[in-house]
């Protein structure tokens, strides 16, 4: 699924990327806030993305202009994921192997030790066998602390979503 998230939902945007969804986060752009609402609705329509917003007025405007929009009420990101999943009528699975880069929305591809040599700390290079690299921003990921956070998050989410 393709989404576009408003400036308040950066955390949700990153988690949806980790769940493998293509999410544009308007907060990543340097656009002044007063121009963001209009840009969100335009881009949602143009790229057929579901708008995720915590602003009820914006949600209503988007629907009026023919965009698909989902109003997010919760403040906690796990509840926001559950809300998103229910509103769009599709289960969101957090599978680390299917992740997109949480920082920039790029795709991740498997990388070998040789690929990442010199780019990650020596200790990490020795301890890890599998690496992933973002094709867009080149950031490297591995089964470290980051992975544990994903797995913990996924289990909290799965308990609520069930």
- Interface residue with Zn ion among 88, 104, 124, 125 (CB under 5 A) is 104
Binding of Zn ion by 140 (CB under 5 A): no
Task: Name the pairing type of β-strands 140-142 and 108-111.
Answer: unpaired
- Interface residue with Zn ion among 68, 106, 125, 153 (CB under 5 A) is 106
> Cα separation of 106 and 99, whole Å?
9
Binding of Zn ion by 18 (CB under 5 A): no
Binding of Zn ion by 134 (CB under 5 A): yes
What is the distance between the terminal CA atoms of the chain, rounded to a whole angstrom?
A: 20
User: Which CB atom, from 124 or from 140, has the smaller least distance to Zn ion?
Assistant: 140
The answer to whether 72 and 84 have CB atoms below 8 angstroms apart is yes
> What is the contact surface with Zn ion in residues (CB under 5 A)?
101, 103-104, 106, 134, 136-137, 139
């Amino acid at each position: 699924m393709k989404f576009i998230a408003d400036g308040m939902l950066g955390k949700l945007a990153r988690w949806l990327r980790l769940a493998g969804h293509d999410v544009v986060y308007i907060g990543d752009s340097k656009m002044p806030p007063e121009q963001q609402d209009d840009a969100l609705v335009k881009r949602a329509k143009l790229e057929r993305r579901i708008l995720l917003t915590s602003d009820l007025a914006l949600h209503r405007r988007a629907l009026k202009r023919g965009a698909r929009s989902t109003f997010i009420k919760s403040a906690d990101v796990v509840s926001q994921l559950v809300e998103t999943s229910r509103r769009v009528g599709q289960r969101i699975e957090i599978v680390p192997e299917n992740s997109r880069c949480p920082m920039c929305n790029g795709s991740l591809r498997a990388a070998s030790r040789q690929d990442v040599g010199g780019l990650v700390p020596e200790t990490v290079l020795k301890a890890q066998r599998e690496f992933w690299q973002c094709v867009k921003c080149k950031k490297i990921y591995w089964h470290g602390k980051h992975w544990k956070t994903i797995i913990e998050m996924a289990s909290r989410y799965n308990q609520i979503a069930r």
